[in-house]
Amino acid sequence: MSHISRTAVVLGCVLAASAWCLTAQGVSAAEGDAAKGKSIYQSKCVTCHGPEGKGDGPVGKALKPPAGDFSNAESKKKSADELRAIIENGKPKTSMAAWGKQLKETEIQDVLAYVLTLRK
């Protein structure tokens, strides 16, 4: 995409905030393998976060607060690194557990890459 200027890429990212944009900008968190992340997500996260990451899984929607919706404006303000830290360390006062001991670093990268694809 040599004919597309970097400014256009950055501007597109501001508008779209998609995982493609993160990749286009070389953000490290997008290095994970989203396909592998999807299977981790479907075994460990989907009951709470729901198939599309809207926080509406059967368990997640009954929680207080409900599981995070990765596509809402509040969530999209967070950087990939912030989301990674939450996956690793959990979120105090919510049901979001720390996955850092159960998942390997590469698995966290992969599941994060998949979560970023749900941010639409």
Can you give the binding site for ligand HEC, defined by CB under 6 A? 44-45, 47-49, 59-60, 63, 65, 67-68, 75, 78, 83, 86-87, 91, 94-96, 99, 111, 115
- Least Å from the CB of residue 112 to ligand HEC: 7
- Least Å from the CB of residue 15 to ligand HEC: 20
> 2: phi > 0 → left, psi -120 to 50 → alpha, else beta; which?
alpha
Q: Which two tokens stand for residue 56?
A: 């509406």
Nearer to ligand HEC (CB atom), residue 12 or residue 100: 100
Nearer to ligand HEC (CB atom), residue 21 or residue 66: 66
Q: How far apart, in whole angstroms, are the C-alpha atoms of residue 60 and residue 106?
A: 25
Residue 106 · residue 20 · CB < 8 Å: no
